[in-house]
């Protein structure tokens, strides 16, 4: 193939791009474009791969889907079927999970500024765990729990002072972060003391950390795990704190373009466990249950966005712009992070490139560019462009800029297609508007 395929993606007998046994041109005709297409088999493969590694190593664990990557009723139901837990970061994600019938006891609630209403909702639903992020939240959550005369399991989020090699906007584990309690500045220890002192409402089961996103090596994860485990030895001796759970977050890299070289998920897991086990054995520390939170690595490569090509602009001796019927309204990552993607013409993905073009979105914004300098065969208006690896943070960060309706989402598997999110209509866009007169 002229491109590196993902999951069940292939070129079918008529030369079209096919995903999950379904011709992408037929999907575009049936559901319209832009259209997010998810390869269900690939999502299942990734979910089972993470779980299998823990099982093979005999380590008690929870694999929680970090649902900020893509949140919808259908994906929550799929993750439930695969036996995963769920990481939510807002009342809206929590509400969606409950509408999907996701077991509340397997839901973990994150966030650096949870509101009283969100905390009350989480407690009323009976979720399994709240990850405490700051001192304000300790007191607020304690108030809510006492008012409801109940208790809840909590983790304390720490920033271990490890910098991941990734985009500055998505670094979260270093000392200068809006998330968590600093491990090196004493805040984490103070948080543990306060939470342990409130054992009438809190059951402190362990610690959480997340060092960043789209990470292609294991060094950062290993350093973070090692540093926290060494600190747990100190806190066991000094505070009589025994962590049942060590949640090492997510951030495992995926392949957006041929330049990206992610490791197999099993390698991240194996090396993390090795470091945790080493410190535990050397210090007679009970091996904690390991939790991880893959999000992008479960759904990113499983998503493909289909667009219809429209206008073309030639700037002599500079570049050729090819515009599509979507853009920063359905994928803001190129504008926000300078994220890079690969794409092909869905009707003839094997055809050799004849030119280099830049794929422009339709939003009224100069920065609305999806792909710069993409090699393609000569394209015509009306053809379908397939952009790969859009399964994470495409739909979840979609917006109505320029009053563009959000795109539809379809799942494909074994030759079947299932609409799981309807396309927004113009009527949807104004349904919350109130007239001035």
Query: Please, is 419 exposed, middle or buried when counting C-beta atoms within 10 Å of its C-beta (0-12, 13-18, 19+)?
Result: middle
Q: How many helices (H) and strands (E) does the chain have?
A: 12, 21
Which domain, by its residues, includes 208?
A: 110-294
- Classify the phi-psi angles of 317: left when phi > 0, otherwise alpha if psi is within -120 to 50, otherwise beta: left
Residue among 129, 209, 363, 364 flagged as catalytic = 364
What is the rounded CA–CA span in Å between residue 224 and residue 232? 12
What is the rounded CA–CA span in Å between residue 261 and residue 263? 7
Asked whether residue 399 is assigned to any structural domain, the reply reads yes
Query: Is 125 annotated in some ligand binding site?
Result: no
Query: Is 203 annotated in some ligand binding site?
Result: no
Query: Is 296 annotated in some ligand binding site?
Result: yes
Q: What is the mean pLDDT of residues 169-179?
A: 67
Lowest mean pLDDT among 26-40, 264-278, 305-319, 345-359: 264-278
What is the rounded CA–CA span in Å between residue 335 and residue 186? 37
Query: Is 103 annotated in some ligand binding site?
Result: no
CB 362 within 8 A of CB 323: yes
Asked whether residue 161 is assigned to any structural domain, the reply reads yes
Lowest mean pLDDT among 26-35, 136-145, 258-267: 258-267
**Shared-domain flag, residues 254 and 333:** no
Model confidence band, residue 268 (pLDDT cutoffs 50, 70, 90): confident
Query: Is 337 annotated in some ligand binding site?
Result: yes
Please tell me the pTM assigned to this model. 0.95
364 is catalytic: yes
The chain-wide mean pLDDT, for the chain, equals 93
Query: Is 333 annotated in some ligand binding site?
Result: yes
Pairing of strands 408-413, 35-39: parallel
> CA angle, 434 as apex, 429 and 437 as ends, to 5°?
130
**Shared-domain flag, residues 22 and 122:** no
Query: Is 424 annotated in some ligand binding site?
Result: no
Residue among 226, 145, 216, 228 at smallest CA distance from 189: 228
N residues, the chain = 437
**Shared-domain flag, residues 326 and 351:** yes
Q: What is the mean pLDDT of residues 204-220?
A: 87
Residue 170 has pLDDT above 60, yes or no: no
pLDDT of residue 266: 84
Final residue belonging to a domain, choices 273, 294, 315: 294
CB 393 within 8 A of CB 333: yes
Asked whether residue 374 is assigned to any structural domain, the reply reads yes
Lowest mean pLDDT among 148-162, 221-235, 409-423: 221-235
Half-sphere exposure of residue 155: CA atoms within 13 angstroms, side-chain side? 29
Lowest mean pLDDT among 164-173, 250-259, 398-407: 164-173
Strand partners, 158: 181
pLDDT of residue 120: 98
CATH code where residue 390 lies:
2.40.37.10
Residue 388 has pLDDT above 90, yes or no: yes
Final residue belonging to a domain, choices 269, 294, 319: 294
Final residue belonging to a domain, choices 294, 329, 352: 294
Inter-CA distances, 378 with 151, 270, 352, 386, 436, Å: 63, 46, 10, 15, 49
Asked whether residue 270 is assigned to any structural domain, the reply reads yes
**Shared-domain flag, residues 314 and 408:** yes
Q: What is the mean pLDDT of residues 365-386?
A: 97
**Shared-domain flag, residues 315 and 410:** yes
CATH code where residue 254 lies:
3.20.20.10
Residue 253 has pLDDT above 50, yes or no: yes
State the Cα torsion 131-292-162-114 to the nearest 10°: -20
Digit-coded pLDDT (tens) for 100-115:
999 999 999 999 999 9
Strand partners, 202: 152
SS3 334: helix
Q: What is the mean pLDDT of residues 227-245?
A: 94
pLDDT of residue 1: 43
């Amino acid at each position: 193939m002229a491109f590196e395929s993902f999951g069940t993606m292939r070129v079918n007998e008529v030369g079209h791009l096919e995903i999950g046994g379904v011709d992408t041109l037929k999907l575009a005709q049936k559901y319209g474009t832009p259209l997010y297409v998810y390869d269900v088999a690939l999502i299942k493969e990734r979910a089972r791969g993470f779980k299998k590694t823990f099982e093979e190593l005999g380590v008690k664990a929870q694999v929680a889907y970090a649902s900020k990557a893509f949140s919808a009723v259908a994906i929550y139901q799929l993750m439930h079927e695969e036996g995963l837990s769920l990481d939510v970061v807002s009342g809206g994600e929590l509400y969606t999970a409950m509408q999907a019938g996701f077991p509340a006891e397997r839901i973990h609630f994150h966030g650096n500024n949870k509101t009283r209403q969100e905390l009350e909702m989480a407690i009323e639903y009976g979720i399994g765990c709240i990850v405490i992020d700051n001192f304000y939240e300790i007191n607020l959550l304690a108030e809510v729990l006492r008012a409801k005369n109940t208790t809840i399991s909590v983790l304390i989020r720490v920033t271990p002072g490890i910098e991941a090699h990734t985009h500055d906007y998505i670094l979260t584990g270093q000392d200068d972060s809006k998330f968590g309690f600093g491990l090196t500045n004493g805040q984490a220890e103070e948080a543990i003391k306060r939470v342990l002192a409130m054992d009438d409402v809190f059951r402190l089961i362990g610690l959480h950390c997340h060092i960043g996103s789209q990470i292609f090596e294991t060094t950062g994860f290993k350093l973070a795990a090692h540093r926290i485990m060494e600190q747990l030895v100190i806190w066991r001796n000094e505070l009589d704190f025994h962590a049942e759970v060590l949640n090492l977050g997510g951030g495992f890299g995926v392949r957006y373009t041929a330049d990206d070289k992610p490791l197999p998920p099993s390698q991240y897991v194996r090396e993390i466990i090795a470091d945790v086990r080493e410190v535990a054995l050397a210090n007679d520390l009970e091996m904690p249950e390991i939790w991880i939170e893959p999000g992008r690595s479960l759904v990113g490569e499983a998503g493909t966005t289909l667009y219809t090509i429209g206008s073309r602009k030639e700037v002599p001796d500079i570049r050729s712009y090819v515009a599509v019927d979507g853009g920063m309204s359905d994928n803001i990552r190129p504008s926000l992070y300078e994220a890079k993607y690969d794409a092909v013409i869905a009707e003839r993905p094997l055809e050799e490139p004849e030119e280099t073009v830049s794929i422009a979105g339709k939003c009224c914004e100069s920065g609305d560019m999806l792909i710069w300098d993409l090699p393609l065969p000569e394209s015509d208006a009306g053809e379908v462009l397939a952009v790969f690896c859009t399964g994470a943070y495409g739909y979840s960060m979609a917006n109505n800029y320029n009053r563009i309706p959000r795109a539809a989402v379809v799942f494909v598997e074994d030759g079947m297609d299932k609409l799981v999110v309807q396309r927004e209509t113009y009527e949807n866009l104004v349904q919350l508007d109130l007239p001035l007169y």
